[in-house]
Structure 1
Amino acid sequence: MPPAARRGRDGTVTRARIEAEALTLFAQKGVDGTSVRDIAQATGLSEGALYRHFPSKEELARELFLSRYAALAGEIGAVDAGGGTLAEKISAVVGLACRLFDAEPALFAYLLIHQHDHLTYVPETPEANVVEAVARLMRGAGLEAERATLAAAMALGCVVQPAVFALYGRLPGPLTARAEAIAGAVLGIVEGARRG
C-alpha cells in the first residue's frame, strides 16, 4: 500500500490549497513575479512538498489555466446544450461569466491576463476551449463558420473589456449588475453577423 493511502490521504486537499494560493499569487504578481518560495509560504508547505505535487511552477501555472479554462468551456457547452432561444443562451453565458468574475476575481484575472502564455496548449475542442464553445453556440444560431468565429471573438470582447475595467476600478460594483447590457451587446453582434 502506498504511504499516502496508509495515512488516509491522497493529497487532493493539499493540491487544492496549492492551486488556490498559487492562483491568487499569479493573479496579483504574475507567474514570473511569483516564486516557488512565495507559493510555499502562502500554503505553509516546504518547497520540496510543492514539487511532490507539481514538477515546476510553470507546470502549475499551465495546469491551473487549462483546467479552469476547460471548466468554463464546459459550462458554456452545458448552457448551449440546454436548449432555449439564442437570446436566453447568450444571457445565460454572459451571466455565467459575470458571476465568475464577481465570485472569483483572481481566477478571472488569471485567465484573462495570462491567456497568451497558455492558449497554444488549449485543445481546439469546444469542451476545453472557451472560444470554440462560444463559436459553436454561434454556429448553432445559424452563423456559418467564419462569421461564427468573428462573432465569438467580438462577444468575448464584450465580456472581457468590462471585466478589465472592473479589475482596474473603472467600473464600480459587481459585473453581474451589467450582465443584461452586455448580453444585449452580444446579441446585437450576432444579429449584425447574420445580416453581414
Structure 2
Amino acid sequence: MNAPARVPPRARRGRDGTDTRARIEAVALELFAQKGVAGTSVRDIAQGVGVSEGALYRHFPSKEELARELFLSRYATLAGEICAVDAREKDLRAKISAVVGLACRLFDTEPALFAYLLIHQHEHLASVPDGPEGNVVEAVARLLRGAGLSPERATLTAAMALGCVVQPAVFALYGRIKGPLAAQAEAISAAVIGIVEGARHP
C-alpha cells in the first residue's frame, strides 16, 4: 500500500486527448488507492502524468469528479462482467466459482483498482445506478434471484456472499494473507456456495 505509484509510460497524445485522459485516470487510481482522495492533490496527479494542472482540468472539472467517474466506470465494468458470467454459466456453482475467480483475478492483476473500489465505495455508492449492469451488488442479487431466492433474501445473501470475497481481500491488502488471492478462490467459492445453499434451503 505504501509503494510508490507506478506511473504509466507517456503515450502520444491523440487529437481527442484520449491518451492523456487514460494516463490521468491510471495515475489518479494509483494515488487514490495509496493516499486516499483527500490525501492526493491535483498537483500530485498532474506531476505523475507529466501535464500541467490546467491540462488536467480540461479533462476533469475537479479532483472529486475524477474520483467519482473512476469509481462509477470501474464499478460498472465489474458489474457488467458479473452479468456476463450469469448469462454464460448455467449451473449455480459454476456461476459462483466464476464470479469469485473474477474478483480474485482483479485483485491480483489490478490491486490499485481493487483497493480503490474497496476503500472508497462508501463515498460513491449513493451515485451507483440501480440496474445490475452498473451495480455489483444488484448484479450478484439478480444472479441469486435466478437461482430461486426471493428479492429480499437475494439482497441479504448477496451482501453476505460479497463479504466472503471482500474480507479476504482486505487481509491480503494488509499482508495478513500471503500469495495471490486466486490461490484462495476455491475456499472462498465453497464458503459462498454454503451461504447461498443455506439461503435457498433454510
Same fold (TM over 0.5): yes
Deviation digits for residues 98-130 of structure 1, max 9, x if unmatched? 000000000000000000000000001000000
Distance 1:75 1:83 in 2: 12
Distance 2:79 2:104 in 1: 14
Please name the residue that 1:105 is paired with. 111
Query: Relative to 1, partners in 2 of residues 1:136 and 1:12: Cα closer, same or farther, differing over 3 Å?
Result: same
Q: Which amino acid aligns with 2:17?
A: G
Distance 2:198 2:94 in 1: 18
Distance 1:75 1:146 in 2: 23
Q: Which amino acid aligns with 1:166?
A: A
Distance 1:24 1:83 in 2: 33
Please name the residue that 2:177 is paired with. 171
Please name the residue that 1:65 is paired with. 71
The alignment status of 1:24 with 2:30, answered yes or no, reads yes
The alignment status of 1:192 with 2:171, answered yes or no, reads no
More helix by share: 1
Query: Superposed, which structure 2 residues align to 1:121-136 within 5 Å?
Result: 121-136=127-142
| Aligned counterpart in structure 2 of residue 180 of structure 1, from 182, 186, 190 | 186
SS of the residue corresponding to residue 31 of structure 1 reads coil
The alignment status of 1:75 with 2:81, answered yes or no, reads yes
- Shift of residue 83 of structure 1? 2.8
Query: Superposed, which structure 2 residues align to 1:108-119 within 5 Å?
Result: 108-119=114-125
Deviation digits for residues 142-161 of structure 1, max 9, x if unmatched? 10111100110000000000
SS of the residue corresponding to residue 15 of structure 2 reads coil
SS of the residue corresponding to residue 149 of structure 2 reads coil
- Shift of residue 10 of structure 1? 1.0
Distance 2:45 2:180 in 1: 29
- Shift of residue 168 of structure 1? 0.2
- Shift of residue 84 of structure 1? 2.1
SS of the residue corresponding to residue 32 of structure 2 reads helix
Deviation digits for residues 64-116 of structure 1, max 9, x if unmatched? 00000000000000000113200000000000000000000000000000000
Distance 2:40 2:132 in 1: 31
Distance 1:127 1:177 in 2: 28
Query: Relative to 1, partners in 2 of residues 1:145 and 1:177: Cα closer, same or farther, differing over 3 Å?
Result: same
SS of the residue corresponding to residue 145 of structure 2 reads helix
Please name the residue that 2:146 is paired with. 140
- Shift of residue 8 of structure 1? 5.6
Please name the residue that 2:61 is paired with. 55
TM-score, with structure 1 as normaliser: 0.96
Distance 1:64 1:72 in 2: 12
Deviation digits for residues 129-180 of structure 1, max 9, x if unmatched? 0000000000011101111001100000000000000000000000000001
TM-score, with structure 2 as normaliser: 0.93
